Amino acid sequence: MNLVKLKTLGKLGLANLIRVAWYRASVRAGVNPVHKITAEIPQPPFLNLLSKVKVEAMSLEANTAIDASIKLFGNLTYPLNRGEIPNWFESPFTHEKVSGSDTNWWQISDFDTGVGDIKQLWELSRFDWVLRLAQLILFHAGNDPKRSAAYEHQLNQWLADWIEKNPPYKGVNWKCGQEASIRVMHLICAAKILGSLAKPTDGFVQVIALHLQRIAPTMSYAVAQDNNHGTSEAAALFVGGEFLSTHNDPDGAKWATKGRKWLENRAKRLIGADGSFSQYSVNYHRMMLDTLSFSETFRQWFSLEPFSHAFYERARAATNWLAAMTDPKSGDVPNLGANDGARLFPLTETDYRDYRPSLIWAYKVFSDSSPLNNFANANECTAILTWLGLEQVHNSAALPTNIHFKDGGFVVLNSATARLVVNYPRFKFRPSQNDLLHIDLWVKSENLLRDAGSYSYNCEEPWQSYFPSTAAHNTIRFDGRDQMPRISRFLLGAWPKAKDVVFRASDDSETKRFTCGFKDYCGAVHYRAIDLQTDRLIITDTVSGFTNKAVARFRLTSERKWQVFDGQVSDGKHTLKFHASSVIESIRLVDGWESRYYFQKSKIPVVEVTLTDPGSLTMEYQWA
């Protein structure tokens, strides 16, 4: 295992390892700049409605029932008219609490807070409520001024309380630079909605400045992660710095220059030429894309110099990648990769799992086009453009169909009725889940074969181990072990390499085909051949090199009543048939789990097919 660990650390890159080592050592030694930053507590008011810009009628119609609530992790309704200010140190999920804000943020552990997952505490401090209250203020300004004024008072009251209870750089809510960055972006966006970016209050300017002071010293550590921490923190420095520079803050231009530099650097490094993102996660891909979209939108608001050509190329490619993953009718996506419940800029009355607002936004700012003609019942999604002060577009965007994303190891196949997504090992960056050769099957917007999701990054067993494991994906597990050994909480080792990759899926071909194989760190071999047709999916798995058994899993939807009989699984309309070159030891229907929203889990049926000898297993899924 030590050799596996050393090889894996080597793949993370020497520069990144040096950045992380220096950061940790300098913080422990007390010489890191984070020890020196101080700031006064800003005083209200922070945000006021200065420009009664009318929201277009179509958007008002789409938002006639704007809720005075937000969704925590996209699922838990949190009313804003609750009559009391939130406790910023209490989990809204478990109601467990941590002590207040008398500890420097760098002295607080990520995983030993006393409430389990620290993200429970951070969720309210991402300031989704700032955005929603800004929307409510503007929405009611014309026909109910008293109500609008009440929401304005609430917004400033809650912000004042947050700043008082979370004094600069102390307490759990200052622990993460990315969390501070999300607050900056949401504050700037709220100010735009209220028309106060040009004439902000002194308190608002001070709030942005004290956040950038927190973000800037740890930018190098964020970059070393090669993930969305780098894009988020760079974006906050860019938009916050440019905002401050227009209001005579002496550090604003410096922060903006640093943010622009790292935004362009991260886009070029972390996004492949085909649009694949470094985290191999659909939700983190959306988070990254929303961050880039907001940076470009802000640039347009202030008529700033454009970003580099490479930045726009990668942003357009990333938009295309997400479009390929998104169901055009529901906006839902495969639950691939880590999913921590993040949804930036929740400005529409759409579900967390509806990715179409992000696509409409990205296509607008990066291609001046719209995917709307490809979407069903998506008028509500377009409201995001109006809230951001962007005009609707009528140039239709062409969406991808059958496509092979070689940079990230993803394949999307489409037949007349079905869509299949496959991911396979092609790792330039660290993977987070044991999901090699996982398949996601969608038929007429129904996700029939599905991924488990993430549930929580810090929870009790067996869930801590279950959700990232091979058993939580539609693939094969050898001898009860995962495809890659876990070195630490967020690091897997022994990344395998794909072999015999074949992609044949022209739009006019009746059968779309993909094949790929790999050998794991213990010598077991899995080769998967996939054929997608109009009314069926055929998967042939050839396995060898294992000691005791190979278990193939197919994770089904719980909305159907499945039964096992005569070597097949069926609900009367959909049928999975199995046959093998050797004896199938068992075909079982067991309980599995999935997490469609972070910190929420539910049971689903899982088919387990066990082989004890090398050979091939064929699964044919036929739908009505």
Handedness of CA 188, 194, 198, 203 (dihedral sign): negative
Spatial contact of 359 and 365, defined as CB atoms under 8 Å apart:
no
Q: Give yes or no for residue 379 having a pLDDT over 90.
A: no
* Mean pLDDT, range 509-515, rounded to an integer: 93
Q: Do residues 417 and 535 touch, judged by C-beta distance below 8 A?
A: yes
Express each pLDDT in 520-579 by its tens digit. Answer: 999 999 999 999 999 999 999 999 999 999 999 999 999 999 999 988 999 999 999 999
- Nearest to 262, CA basis, from 313, 300, 216, 317: 216
In angstroms, the CA 414 to CA 564 distance is 28
Q: Is the pLDDT of residue 1 over 80?
A: no
Going by C-alpha positions, the residue among 450, 419, 437, 552 that lies closest to residue 484 is 437
Of 1, 2, 73, 157, the C-alpha closest to 455 is: 73
Residue 584: per-residue pLDDT = 96
pLDDT at residue number 83? 86
- What pLDDT, in 10s, does the model give residues 246-286? 998 999 999 999 999 999 999 999 999 999 999 999 999 99
Which residue, chain included where needed, has tokens 């983190």?
Answer: 284
pLDDT for residue 59: 40
Residue spans of alpha helices (H) in 302-424: 309-325, 356-367, 383-387
Distance of alpha carbon 393 from the chain centroid? 26
pLDDT, position 2: 79
Of 225-234, 297-306, 487-496, minimum mean pLDDT range: 487-496
Q: What is the DSSP letter of 329?
A: T
In whole angstroms, how far apart are CA 391 and each of 143, 312, 370? 24, 20, 11
Report the 10 Å Cβ neighbour count for 432: 20
Is 366:316 a contact under the CB 8 Å cutoff? yes
What gap in Å lies between CA 25 and CA 22, rounded to an integer? 5
Nearest to 294 by CA among 390, 393, 401, 162: 390
First and final C-alpha spacing in the chain: 48
Residue 603, pLDDT above cutoff 70: yes
Mean predicted confidence (pLDDT) in 93-110? 86
Cis peptide bond N-terminal to 306, omega within 30? no
Min mean pLDDT across 1-5, 125-129, 377-381, 613-617 is at 1-5
Share of the chain above pLDDT 70, in %: 97
Strands 76-79 and 69-72: antiparallel
- Segment 351-374 mean pLDDT: 96
Residue 542 sits at the vertex; the CA angle it makes with 537 and 547, to the nearest 5 degrees, is: 135
Average pLDDT, the chain: 94
**Which among 58, 127, 125 is positioned nearest to 91, based on CA atoms?**
125
Q: pLDDT per residue over 150-178, tens digit each?
A: 999 999 999 999 999 999 999 999 999 99
Judge whether residue 55 has pLDDT over 80.
no
Contact indicator for 363, 382 with CB cutoff of 8 Å:
no
- Of all residues in the chain, the percent with pLDDT exceeding 90 is 84
Cα separation, 493 vs 487, whole angstroms: 6
User: What's the predicted TM-score (pTM) here?
Assistant: 0.96
Using CA atoms, how far residue 572 sits from 24, 444, 575, in Å, is 58, 18, 7
Mean pLDDT calculated for residue range 219-226: 95
Residue 54 has pLDDT above 70, yes or no: no
**What per-residue string of b and e applies to 314-331 under the rule 16 or more CB within 10 Å gives b?**
bbbbbbbbbbbbbbbebb
Q: Are 238 and 263 in contact (CB under 8 A)?
A: yes
pLDDT for 253-264, tens place per residue?
999 999 999 999
| 504-515 mean pLDDT | 90
Q: Is the dihedral of CA 12, 16, 18, 22 positive or negative?
A: negative
d(CA 560, CA 574): 9
In sequence order, the 6+-apart residues with CB closer than 8 A to the CB of 149 are: none
pLDDT confidence of residue 89: 94
